[in-house]
Amino acid sequence: MDPTKQHQQQPRTLRSRPTLILLLLSLVSLLSLFSTPTDAALAVRADAAIDLHYDTWDPFQGLAPHYSLAGVLVVGEVQKDCTVRVPAAAGPAGQAILGAVDPGHPITRTIVAIAYNWLDYCATYDDIFDKLPDLNAHLKSLNLPEVGAVVMDGDAQSTEDFGAPFIQLAEAKKWNQKAGLNISFIGSDSIVALSKYLGPSAAAPALLATVEQMDGPWNKLWSSIGFIIVIRGLDVLAGIIFVYGLWVLAFILKAKHESQHFRRYMILIPGCIYLPLSVVFAPYKVQVPWRNAVYYLSLLFPFISLGLQITMWSKLIYRIKRKTANKLFSYFSYVTILVPVISAFLDGIGWLIPGVPIIRMVGEKGFSFVTPAVIIVQAGLIFYYAATFFKSLKGVAVSQTTRTALIKITVLNLAMISFFILMLLSRIVSLMGLNMRNRAAYMTELVIFRFSFLFFYACCFRTLSIRQPTGSTVDSKGNPNGGHQSNTSPSKNQSKNHTHYNMDDLSNSNSNNNHMSSNHKGSRHDTESRPSLHYNKHLSNHASKGFTISDPSAVPPSPTSPKISYVPHANQLNSGYEDGASYPDPYKFNEFGHLAHYTHGEEGFYDGDKHSVYGGHRFPAKNGGGVVPLGKTRNSEGYSRFDTQDEDRRVRGTLKTMTTSTMSLDDFSIRLTRPNEILEYTTILEDMAVFIRSQGINQWPPGMFCSPNGQSDLTAAIAQGRCYTIPYAPASSDNNSCKAPIPVTAGIFMLGYDDPFDQALWDGLAGHTPWTDALYLHRLVLLQRFQGCGLTALIMAFAQEKVRVSGRHFLRMDCLYENEKLRRFYGERCLGPGKGGLRELDKIVHPEIGWEFARFELVVDSTTK
């Protein structure tokens, strides 16, 4: 067609345009004289009454040589200089539409029409990508010089209405570095502006786009056999893990004693529900609203699970460190549940109620913007929680085996939550269309989702395979002998979750009835595995405050027997556990039991000691009660001893028949603890630590005193003269021997005035002098045999005298607020019969460890003695 005639046939509306447009059109016409035009076609719905037959190809139905499209073909030409020449027959509408083609990417020379209903056959994004090469191959078969443009014709007023596949094509400017994709997109405002040119019947304008035929590296990788094997292999592994998870769940539900695993397994349940729903009901078919509703509602499950996990961690961290920020984080944990759940719920319901678009709009905006922000904050919080938790582990007195198990479980739990967050973020990225920018982003998102899901389940099952510690120094595993118990092997007490060792097995190697060979004596070496214990007096009981997930089946019945967990040096072991094969348990702790009278009537355990600070401290004898005979390896107080060579048997015989009624306070004295007595001092403290733990009082975790830090603190306290020992040396004995008796330790206590722990409890007390104007009595322990003879009153009188001598005015004590028995004793009768006790002040929360303490104070008159 002659260019000059084309210019003359232009509508009158163009002639009234400004001179600049006329000059541009004249320039285009002039340039066309030097070009060789090629056929180009553009299909635009302009008149539904006209059917135009055009040779095109449907990517899902194959070749369609006689393809009917309601509309008018407007002829256009792409020039060598990357401009599009609009013939006069196109009119203003053709100019406007073809003007949307980006001349910066001159790959479009032929335009092909594809109907909107091809999405009915599209199930996933993968189908679109897989069909595009076939479409390009067909265009090549048409002998077209270059790839043609595609008009996606359908009922649409905006880009969103075309659905995610259209947006994906429209926004994919480049699939990779080498292949450019020219997308010229008409929608929203542009369609409204052009509607007046398309006629009254053109209620559904078209979308103009071009398709790139060139394969790039990402496209080649996408279609490679290796990538397909990786993706499908991950799907198979996820399916296997999913089936295995259901089997483990059935096993846990059947085995009630494994309920500790059930709590950790609960995070798997939402994932098991979400995975199949997200795959089967993925919102790729935009014309099936109920499928989208099911998919978005399925997102409720993982968000609830993730929120509950964050809530658990936030409460735990707040117990560890009661800071205002941690409290706010604990409140925010509930937001992490509500915001994503409400957004997903509204988005799902919105698909079922199209008549109320505000529901879906709020859900989409919340899910697309607010929920990712919440998840990102969750990811930051979980790493903050991890740092706080591992820092606090420095103050836990547990064995190396328990510590290792704690760290493994914590790391796996953090990894599990992290992969869960990553998996959800990848899905949100997909739903927001961020993976539609290019093939690289789509493949990356796909691989991240598959791997994060796989690692999530792997961490879950690895966690389930670890036996969780109970927070004590006692092993929770079963009998190492595989259920067979010999006379010399310790027996597993399932109800108490610890290994019980008969005291008879501690008999001396020189005894005629010994159960273990003495030729193993000294065979233990320092290189053998020993507990690595750490103690911080400001964080003395983390293990009992939630850092371990206790085994519900391991809750000891009441009453429970105390034990000592103390590791002596190898040269202090005279018999019993020298052989590693017969050692008590993997923690390799020796156990000592305090043996004394006890009664067990209809009302349960009876404690007859009216003046006991902590109550009766007893082990039941093998014969069900009565006095337990003392052997060569037990001292006069019923403890197994490391060295019995210097034990005065005459004193043991005397104490064996002595009761509190025969004891006199004149036989007791108070002196500073000597450095060489640290072993006995530690043993007494550890014995009481295990006992009060068995009574449900979480103050002294077993192992805290025999840990390296605990021993260092005790050594320093003894050297500074803050530790006191109460020896008992009866003036005479039943055998009328003239030899002087060997003193026996009846109790211990500590006095101090500069402990930072006390400062945190007492500093700033309203109406009082500085906190240093007092002596603080701690770690008062009386051995059971000597409880009830008035020793506590003797100690209190001694402490008051020390207050006077030091020039101070107060004697103070404290205990856990939950220890009601000890509170009553301190407040009512610790000063002696008829003298009452100390004044109890208001309870206080320790600012560093967050525990509630009861405080007791006695004003000491400097003039009264």
Q: Please provide the DSSP assignment of 340-363 as one string.
A: HHHHHHHHHHHHH-TT-HHHHHHH
pLDDT of residue 692: 79
| pLDDT > 90 in the chain, percent | 1
| CA–CA separation, 453 and 305 (whole Å) | 15
Asked if pLDDT for residue 724 goes beyond 90, the answer is yes
Q: If we measure between CA atoms, which residue out of 328, 630, 666 comes closest to residue 507?
A: 630
Q: Which of 113-122, 313-322, 580-589, 761-770 has the lowest mean pLDDT?
A: 580-589
For residue 295, is pLDDT > 70?
yes
Of the candidate ranges 390-404, 559-573, 819-833, the one whose mean pLDDT is the lowest: 559-573
How far is residue 621's CA from residue 332's CA, in Å, rounded to a whole number? 53
d(CA 139, CA 148): 7
Residue whose tokens read 């599990």: 416
The distance of Cα 849 from the centroid of its chain, to the nearest Å, equals 21
Q: Which of the residue ranges 36-45, 71-80, 354-363 would you say has the lowest mean pLDDT?
A: 36-45
Quick check: 800 pLDDT over 80? yes
Q: What is the pLDDT of residues 638-648, one digit of tens each?
A: 333 333 333 44
| Cα–Cα distances in angstroms (integers) from residue 428 to residues 289, 374, 415, 432, in the given order | 19, 12, 20, 6
**724 or 691: which leads in pLDDT:** 724
CA-based radius of gyration for the chain = 42
pTM, to two decimals? 0.38
Structure tokens at 500: 């019980």
Residue 723 pLDDT > 90, yes or no? yes
| 516-542 confidence digits (pLDDT tens) | 333 343 333 443 333 333 333 333 333
Q: Quick one: which of 647, 642, 645 has its CA closest to 572?
A: 642
Q: With contact defined as beta carbons under 8 Å apart, do 461 and 682 qualify?
A: no
**Cα angle at 355 between 349 and 361, to 5 degrees?**
55
Q: Where are the alpha helices (DSSP H) in 488-620?
A: none
Q: Is the pLDDT of residue 123 over 50?
A: no
- Tens of pLDDT, residues 3-35: 444 444 444 443 444 555 445 545 444 444 333
Q: Which secondary structure element, helix H or strand E, spans residue 852, and what is its range?
A: strand 852-859
Cα–Cα distance measured from residue 341 to residue 335, given in angstroms and rounded to the nearest whole number: 10
Residue 209 — φ and ψ, nearest 5°?
A: -155, 160
**Helix or strand (DSSP H, E) at 4:** helix 3-8
Q: How far apart are CA 332 and CA 500, in angstroms?
A: 45
Candidates 113, 97, 102, 91; CA nearest to 43 is: 113
Give the percent of the chain with pLDDT over 70.
39
For residue 750, pLDDT beyond 80: yes
Q: Rounded distance, CA 844 to CA 703, Å?
A: 26
Closest to 97 (Cα-Cα) out of 167, 220, 186: 186
Give the angle 824-829-830 at the CA atoms, nearest 5°: 95
The span from the CA of 555 to the CA of 563, in Å, is 15
Query: What's the pLDDT tens digit per position in 659-716?
Result: 555 677 777 888 899 888 888 888 888 888 888 777 777 678 887 888 888 888 888 8
The CATH 1.20.1070 domain(s) of the chain lie at: 228-464
pLDDT digits (tens, 9 = 90+) for 129-182: 555 555 555 544 544 333 334 444 443 333 333 333 444 444 433 333 333 333
Length of the chain: 865
Task: Work out whether strand 852-859 and strand 810-816 pair parallel, antiparallel, or are unpaired.
Answer: antiparallel
CB 172 within 8 A of CB 181: yes
Instruction: Mark out the alpha helices in 643-790 (DSSP H runs).
Output: 649-657, 678-694, 708-719, 756-762
CATH of 228-464, one of 1.20.1070, 3.80.30, 3.30.300, 1.10.3210: 1.20.1070
How far separated are the first and last CA of the chain, in Å rounded?
127
Query: Three-state SS string across 409-437, please?
Result: HHHHHHHHHHHHHHHHHHHHHHHCCHHHC
Return the pLDDT at 749: 92
Contact 692, 699 (CB under 8 A): yes
- The model's pLDDT over 432-487, given as tens digits with 9 standing for 90+, comes to 666 555 556 667 777 777 777 777 767 766 766 665 544 333 333 333 333 333 44
Specify whether the CB–CB gap between 735 and 716 falls below 8 A. Answer: no
Q: Side chain identity at 58, as an amino acid letter?
A: D
Span 366-415, pLDDT tens digits: 777 787 788 778 778 877 887 887 777 665 555 566 667 777 777 777 77
What is the maximum alpha-carbon separation in the chain? 144
| Tens digits of residue pLDDT in 245-272 | 677 667 666 665 445 555 555 656 666 6
Tokens 């009574």 locate to 695
Higher pLDDT residue, 105 or 672? Answer: 672
Which among 395, 449, 409, 405 has a CA at the least distance from the CA of 426?
449
Exposure letters 595-618 (e unless 16+ CB within 10 A, then b): bbbbeeeeeeeebebebbbbbbbb
To the nearest whole number, what is the mean pLDDT of the chain? 58
- Across 88-97, 112-121, 713-722, 791-800, least confident range: 112-121
